[in-house]
Amino acid sequence: MNVNVKEKRIAIFVSGEGTNMLNIIKYFEDRTGISIPLVFCSNANAKALDHVREYNIDAYILNKEDLYNSDKIINELQDKDIDLIILAGFMWMIPDNLITAFPDQMINIHPALLPQYGGKGMYGKKVHEAVIENKESETGMTIHYVNENYDEGKIIFQAKLPILDSDTPESIAAKVKELEFEHYPKVIEDLLLNLN
């Protein structure tokens, strides 16, 4: 390996279960040249924090004052030399100053085929219920850059799956999760490898 290549560093923002976060942590566990030194969590009781502790990653419990009315989070990310910010089930709006500080360096995953079934209030089971209600023939997942509007940043990658007559919101959720697990770490890796 070229010793002059700088290690790429990821920060993950999470709010809930953290299954995507855990999947990403495991994927990069044995990769040289890529590390995850920092996780930000908006909920002190999130299950995700159990996984973070298990892997000895620094966890920062966010409060709204720090995120929306200060540069504390940006400073922390810059101090840790973060190259890419990964949102993995993060439920709070990202403030403009953070987006500006990390242009094209922040991505999100959404459990549907954006631009449909996105936006404020479209999360979790609600997405899959709406997809069934509208008798869609397919759904999937989207990985996209984060901009100042919920779920509207440039799309990086999508994967689709057909909806069967027998599907329920729960069965679709499970299949979408599988797609997320398969693709999110690889897309992250590709982006990191293409960063200067």
Which residue numbers are catalytic? 110
Return the number of the residue (72 or 155) whose C-beta is nearest ligand GRF: 155
> Can you tell me which of 12, 13, 20, 167 binds ligand GRF, judged by CB under 6 A?
20
Q: What single-letter DSSP state applies at residue 61?
A: E
10, 39, 85, 89: which one binds ligand GRF (CB under 6 A): 89
Query: Under 8 Å CB-to-CB from 52, ≥6 apart: which residues?
Result: 18, 21, 39, 41, 59
User: Considering the complex, what minimum distance in angstroms separates the CB of residue 109 from ligand GRF?
Assistant: 4
Residues numbered 164 to 183 that lie near ligand GRF (CB under 6 A) are 180
Q: In one letter, which amino acid is 2?
A: N
H or E stretch covering 29: helix 19-29
Q: Is 109 an interacting residue with respect to ligand GRF (CB under 6 A)?
A: yes
| Burial of 90 per CB tally in 10 Å (0-12, 13-18, 19+) | buried
For ligand GRF, the binding residue among 17, 66, 104, 129 (CB under 6 A) is 17
Considering only residues 39, 73, 88, 113, which one is a binding residue for ligand GRF as defined by CB under 6 A? 88
Of 111 and 153, CB closest to ligand GRF:
111
CA 166 remoteness from chain centre: 29
Site stretch for ligand GRF (CB under 6 A), options 37-45, 66-74, 107-115, 154-162:
107-115
Residue 19's closest CA among 185, 191, 143? 185
- Least distance from C-beta 107 to ligand GRF, angstroms? 11
**72 or 171, CB closer to ligand GRF?**
171
* Residue of 83, 184, 172, 104 whose CA lies nearest to 142: 184
Q: Which is nearer to ligand GRF, 6 or 125 (CB)?
A: 125
Give the chain's count of helices (H) and strands (E): 7, 7
Interface ranges with ligand GRF (CB under 6 A) = 16-21, 88-89, 109-111, 180
